[in-house]
């Protein structure tokens, strides 16, 4: 019984981490040459505007496509969407695949001014 409670608590902690938006970690990771910025919004949203240097992989397709784009599971992957919800789902999928440096950067509209101020 204790083991079940311990495992349940561990899963809750892992899930809480997976959805957390961390814009500061995202900005730090994006300063690295090996980081990858991924927009997990729809193609239509991406066409309306995207962050400079971002590539688009829909959140529903990221688990199937990431190995061709980034086989290195230690590469920093910075994800964003419209609100942070889809990027949280994509983050969880990637972490389940063993990717270790996946950052949910949150919303496009929140990140754009932060990145523009860094230029």
Active site amino acids: 81
Can you spell out the DSSP letters for the chain? Answer: -HHHHHHHHHHHHHHHHHT-B-HHHHHHHHTSTT-EEEE-S-HHHHHH---TT-EE--TTTHHHHHHHH---TTS-EEEEESSSHHHHHHHHHHHHTT-S-EEEEEEHHHHHHHHHHH-
Token code pair at residue 19? 């959805």
């Amino acid at each position: 019984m204790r083991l079940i409670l311990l495992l349940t608590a561990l899963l809750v902690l892992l899930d809480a981490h997976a959805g957390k938006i961390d814009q500061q970690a995202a900005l730090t990771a994006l300063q690295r040459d090996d980081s990858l910025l991924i927009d997990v919004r729809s193609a239509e949203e991406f066409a309306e505007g995207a962050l400079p240097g971002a590539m688009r992989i829909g959140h529903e397709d990221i688990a199937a496509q990431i190995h061709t784009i980034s086989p290195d599971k230690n590469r920093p992957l910075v994800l964003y969407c419209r609100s942070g919800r889809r990027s949280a789902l994509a983050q969880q999928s990637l972490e389940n695949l063993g990717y270790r440096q996946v950052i949910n950067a949150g919303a496009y509209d929140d990140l754009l001014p932060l990145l523009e101020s860094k230029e």
